[in-house]
Structure 1
């Protein structure tokens, strides 16, 4: 992959194009069928497929095993190349929110949307729990409230979704594009594929197959235009150890346009505030479980806790997320509130509520006393998922999520982030490959990454001014499809450079050279306030100063802030 020689600037970079200007070689252009290639290009394409670096061409038989890895049409063709800065706008949101239509929550849809907008969100997804009562009457009943919120808060996009009890696994967010049949599709999905409704929560091959069937249903509903779009993200994947590596790979490989990623950071971030500070004193994210009968036996005990507020699958350099990226699988992270009941709020459920009969609790009332047992923040108050969207409507927001143009942060650690891969030395400001993209260059081309950060310039909602201390660049080789689908390590991934952030700046810019590239790799970026760190799970050679294991009952989220960004791949040909 060549050598690197990083250097730091305190001024803005320009942005260059993402390759040397040459057209995409025909062997890599999946719009060209095999039958129209020369024998040499057919051979080259076959080699790339066998290495797990190129997807199957449309209509090609016997070549589907590489589908879903780097080079699939939606990544190598549609999302590669130069995406100009200014072609999209970063829009902050939250895809995991519960209302009075969930059996363990209490707020109105409008309560969450009003708070989310006040705290700077542009989009929200209402995801009440799947279950017998919700499947029977809750899906229809919440919809008028969502429609009303769309009219009351036109500045925000308000999606109707649900939190899916994934058969044989944990929970997940289902998002559908608004439309005439959004309720019909969600209701049919929940009644036929929800693990709780179908009694299919335990680990078994049949239940795993039911989860795949649910994803297939969503894909079919989209193809038939019953809904304009649909997508799925796994929620709090390590909390109980239920989401095995092979299940995650199975979801992604079965429906790569529907199954898009998981929560890099769970909600419930207030849950570990100490009881001495009037907090609930639990595990951050309510990650305070231990292995159970249905947990994947290979996961270590450390995976049942958060690390700097982030899920173990994401926070571990060389861990499960990296093992997917090393295969070339586009798999994205998000961060959400999972808001049910907000810490120190004085609301209580409305009097004389009968959830089982009505599918909802009565509207909340003032309860006079602050709730010190709740573990949640309002949407946008602490966690944010920033999506690069080319327009301000639902379609463009979902397109940005699917493309992986996403970075996440806690506590307003930074104001904005722009990460680009480019040919070294090219300073065309409008060029470069953004988050989620693939930079294709000829072998031997020098490649660099530019990282532009706008620092926080005002206090967050805890009245603290966040201070970014360090930005880490993480890099890993693309090694192709894993022979063992339960693997959760990526031994060739490590932190290759840490950039210290100078104090007193409004913006900082960093550049790192990968040298002249000869083999495929990916990189990703994270940053921290530096307050709580420790050597990573796989040692100092892999992650010398990583996030610290969160202590149950003693992890104030405002004092331990991180941001993470989705990856960019570099594919030499």
Structure 2
């Protein structure tokens, strides 16, 4: 079976492309300026029974990283459940199929078995919110700091050594003053000594490394942790150099930490958590707000969403730590895609109910990034290192079982969404540090549904005379990078997450090469895409084709200063009903951002002998002002009813969402009419080893007797990729201060 995954490139095509320019480097090998690296796919936001997921760590890691039974296997993986606490022993396995020598299946016990019924209540550490010891309770909930430190980390380290895929721990923090953030402190995790560890042949594993730093951060700064035991007697102290600490009225001396958890005071605690990382683990930490539009705007009386000023505050406190957002959320098969919906959030009697920011997702992406000129462009317009990420947010399959190919809730990590990150390993192995360094670099892109799996995006300066660069020369750089799955390291050129410094008047030669892999993707559905059927295109859901690539450009005007009128502002409510940029405050938009170019099959070329690779090249003439360019692409042409507008921008996903709140705003509109001969019943488990489903499945929403595009089918129908930007800094114009 052929999948839309990595395929062997044609060597002759590389040689042909490289003949146009001598670049002084072998394929896949960086020059002295950069350590050699490769784009590696991963996921850093997902859940197991350690928090509120439905599967054990072992099942989730196997499903996410295996390349045989689940052929989407990721290259790296971060297990990151919610902060707070939980009462299930997620180290236990469901059955013999996921058992290992160190963690065997125990008859009568599994990942839903409580800590009290496995290790005993007496072994649970810390105190309840009222200060009484947890081990005095009959069925205590273990704090995540203990489960991370003593139970989850050993499993992750063991499975890394056993399977050879770097698997480490993060947390989806429950954020003071806000909703959730994907974060991690990797200090101590997966040490190099693990390369030669002798694994046990029986139960039990003693790790060589530790997740102590991550555990301490969780105790200190997670809103869900109200323990005051200082790490069960470990003496943890949560002060931050240069901050008020014990002089702060919100400081709890017994717990040695701040206890302000909501509204503005909660946000200030969150900023302190970033400062703590910057002080003690500056290169080993990351802090990426998750599905940040979902809980609505910032709530001054609670813990809901993020406005643009909160992102700026976080980036100011730790620019090497708070460096991006998950504006393409998981839960992509839910009745409310991403779990975003109108009227979702109750801000209390004084403020009432509020929509998720944007009201819904837009092509599976939150409005902060999906709206050209919106919050992401506002941050990029300052020259900030602020990158785009996607995540699975895996919890469960909704109405279906763990191993069913259908879902009304979540896609598995790597099955649908994945982040492709430049991981610079040189001759060494991938390690947590090289992965976090890759995330921090911004040299990454995110794609859904295997629409593309290679992106080379290169911008080079060209001057008259000796400094001239031809289109063919830069196209050859990008072609080589795409076909060898690496990037470029050439003076006068830059790629994603980087800054190109040029003189005024320079021409910028931009080359883009993407691979739209042939074959089928991981969708279980082989019938024609209902969205495309509306415009007369017959394209199987499991064989999507890249329709076009957009280039978006914006100007860089410099950092906005706290306290100024253009620093803070809330995205307007009821966006679906009135998506007017005039309503958006100046702080949350960048009106210089615009669609600059669009490429499709009539304007791109293909690599000789390998038409999977689409090549695009253009010039930005005589630049005089600092700016940035970024990419997005989709399988949908412009003007697809209820999916894209006349310019190809994504429309609100409310038209394929099934919940009552969505239907109150807009009816479901895209019919799914293919009957098919292989459409299994909902109550029967249907696995990947069985034939593809060739008709509209039975779990779709029904309106007046007609199945409608919804749930996982809606996700597979509507695919996008987003790249991170390239910055261009023009001498004597605005300095792009936040990016190297």
Q: Determine helix, strand or coil for the equivalent of 2:323.
A: strand
Residue of structure 2 equivalent to 1:179: 188
User: Could you tell me how far 1:152 is from its partner in structure 2?
Assistant: 2.0
Match of 2:362 in 1: 307
Q: For residue 423 of structure 1, give the secondary structure of its aligned residue in structure 2.
A: strand
Residues 200 and 296 from structure 1, CA distance in 2 versus in 1: closer, same or farther, beyond 3 angstroms? farther
Query: Residue in 2 aligned with 1:448?
Result: 509
**Structure 1 residue 343 displacement after superposition:** 4.7
- Which SS does the other structure have where 1:256 is aligned? coil
Specify whether residues 115 and 323 from structure 1 end up closer, same or farther in structure 2 by C-alpha distance, changes over 3 A only. Answer: same
Query: Any residues of structure 2 matched to 1:520-535 within 5 Å, and which?
Result: 520-530=626-636
Gaps of 5+ in 2: 1-13, 24-29, 86-141, 190-208, 227-258, 297-304, 463-468, 478-487, 525-541, 569-586, 659-709, 732-740
Which shifted more, 497-506 or 230-239? Answer: 497-506
Distance 1:378 1:178, change over 3 A: farther
1:197 corresponds to: 225
Q: Which runs of 5+ in 1 are unaligned?
A: 1-9, 19-80, 272-281, 348-365
TM-score of the aligned structures, taking structure 1 as reference length? 0.74
**Equivalent in 614, 617, 623 of residue 508 of structure 1:** 614
Cα separation, 2, equivalents of 1:526 and 1:17: 30
Distance 2:166 2:315 in 1: 26
Answer whether contact 1:91 1:122 (CA < 8 A) is retained.
yes
Matched, 1:221 2:221: no
Offset of residue 107 of structure 1: 1.4
More strand by share: 1
> How far apart, CA to CA, are the structure 2 residues paired with 1:372 and 1:381?
12
Displacement of 1:385 in angstroms is: 0.1
CA drift of 1:394 comes to: 2.4
After the TM superposition, which of the residue ranges 558-567 and 176-185 deviates more from structure 2? 176-185
- Does the Cα contact within 8 Å between 2:624 and 2:730 map onto a contact in 1? yes
Is 1:497 matched with 2:597? yes
Q: Does 1:468 align with 2:565?
A: no
- Looking at structure 2, the residues matched to 300 and 371 of structure 1 have their Cα atoms a distance apart, in angstroms, of 31
Distance 1:458 1:83 in 2: 38
CA distance in 1, matches of 2:163, 2:342: 38
C-alpha deviation, 1:82, in angstroms? 9.0
Verify the 8 A CA contact 1:244 1:296 in the aligned structure 2.
Answer: no
> Separation in 2 of the partners of 1:452 and 1:380?
22
Quick check: 1:230 aligned with 2:285?
yes
CA offsets 1:272-327 (integer angstroms, 9 cap, x no match): xxxxxxxxxx1101112535428999998661310111111111100000000001
Q: Return the index of the structure with the highest Cα Rg.
A: 2
For residues 501 and 618 of structure 2, what CA distance do their matches in structure 1 show? 18
> Offset of 1:455 from its aligned partner?
1.5
Helix, strand or coil: the match of 2:621?
strand
* 1:395 shift after superposition: 2.1
Q: Let me know the Cα RMSD of the aligned residues.
A: 3.3
The 1:299–1:390 alpha-carbon spacing in structure 2 relative to 1, beyond 3 Å, is: farther
Tell me if the contact between 1:317 and 1:536 (Cα under 8 Å) persists in the aligned partners.
no
8 Å CA contact 1:343–1:372 kept in 2: the answer is no
1:239 aligns with 2:294: yes
1:58 corresponds in structure 2 to none
2: distance between equivalents of 1:404 and 1:314?
15
* Aligned with residue 332 of structure 2, among 252, 269, 293: 269
Within 2, Cα distance between the matches of 1:401 and 1:182? 22
Change (3 A) 1:456 1:164: same
Greater relative CO (CA pairs within 8 A, separation 6+): 1
Equivalent residue in structure 2 for 1:481, among 533, 544, 559 = 559
Distance in 2 (alpha carbons) for counterparts of 1:521 and 1:399: 24
Report how many aligned residue pairs link the two structures. 462
Going from structure 1 to structure 2, the CA distance change for 1:146 and 1:14 (only over 3 Å counts) comes to: farther
Q: 1:545 to 1:136 in 2, by over 3 A?
A: closer
Cα distance in 2, alignment partners of residues 449 and 320 from structure 1: 25
Of 417, 420, 431 in structure 2, the residue corresponding to residue 386 of structure 1 is: 420
Displacement of 1:209:
1.0
